[in-house]
Amino acid sequence: MDAAATIQTLSPRRRVALAWTLACLSAFAPLATDMYLPAFPKMAAEFGANIGAIQFTLAVFLLGLAVGQLLWGTLSDHTGRRFPLLAGCALFAVMAAWGAATTSVPALIVARFFMGLGGSAGVVVTRAIVRDLFEEREAAKFYSLMMIVGGIAPIVAPFLGSLLLAHGGWRGIFWVLTGFGALCVALTLWQVEETLPRGQRMRGHVAEVFQGYGKILTNRRFLGPALAMGCASGVLFTYIAESPFIFIELFGVPAAYFGFLFATNSIGLYIGGRCNTWLLQRFTAEWLLRKAMWFSVGTAALLVTCTWSGWGGLVLFFTLLFINLSSLGIIFPNATALTMQPFAAVAGSASALLGIFQFILGAAGGALVGVFHNGTALPMAVQIACYALLARGILLLTPKGTPNANPKSQNLDSLTG
């Protein structure tokens, strides 16, 4: 379907409804991570395990998200978008129920891996659906709208997790996730129409599939923004993995208030996405991405300075962290639009590779911050700065589109080079 026709046929109300639906379908990651973070100490105590074993269930979930990208992305290019969405949502629901009933850490690790595998369908296929429907600038706006709607998940998740932990224990969190997976199955059946016609689906053997991945990976207009987005995800998951220690143990924030602080930073992502929607009226997605990357580097450098010197305490540390994470609300939708734009015919495969970069580099951030943990906030701050600097450096090596920032005179074809 061509972008102009899509814009004409989708009413504003339908666009918002579709954004809500796709945002819910892409919200498996924040819900399945943020909701159970406050439960780590109680889970470790119940299983008689150390906190590192419980933290590993987060890393293995991210690994499942990464691996699942290839499975569902390739499948969606061959069979259409709806079937992989339904299968992934159902797998997530079943594995969440297994996690709720498990009595050992190894079984929980297995459940978390397959939860990630199933949830990755929502992440990868929703991006492909947007690419099926919209061209670059409209896609960036729609990704921003999805981020605004999806921003509710990381805001609500810590509060809901703390509430369930207080009244139903950590297993209640997993039962709620089971219900969410079932809800996503119903939403897919009700709201998501097939966007990839049979005549446009891929046909071919496994070797041809891998050749297609090779062509995508050798396209520098894909590789640069995709790697940069992966590094930005490393910033986010570094924060997610270390935030319980930083706020609760290091700064002495009561566990009951942890959800509030965590959600406040999630509001920063919402604000960034909201600003991006407005800025896209005047500037290109590429221009905004590059400027937001510089902003991320600058605030990360200030965060390292603040943490190393000890100046400003919790207030300055939290403020700089909030500002840095807000820039991700601009980075994520624009990087996604740029990477997906050249690959209308293989949007699922391109989305899969983008997701692999995003979640593998994100999982690495969550793991590395634990390796370099020294009882202070400095390893987290330094790692955030390194990821931000690496992301900006990668973009410096990426071919630029036209420098004109006025969309009325911008030739969109030059951006996809």
Domain map (residue ranges) of the chain: 3-416
Using pLDDT thresholds of 50, 70 and 90, give the confidence band for residue 416: very low
Report the phi/psi class of residue 397: left, alpha or beta, with left for phi > 0 and alpha for psi in -120 to 50: alpha
Q: Tell me the angle at which helices 51-79 and 82-101 cross, rounded to the nearest 10 degrees.
A: 160
The pTM score is: 0.73
pLDDT number for residue 393: 92
CATH domain 3-416 topology: Growth Hormone; Chain: A; (1.20.1250)
Q: Is the pLDDT of residue 331 over 50?
A: yes
Using pLDDT thresholds of 50, 70 and 90, give the confidence band for residue 8: very low
Candidates 359, 29, 43; CA nearest to 180 is 29
Q: 18-48: buried (b, 16+ CB within 10 Å) or exposed (e) per residue?
A: bbbbbbbbbbbbbbbbbbbbbbbeebbeebe
pLDDT number for residue 206: 56
Mean pLDDT of all residues in 29-39: 84
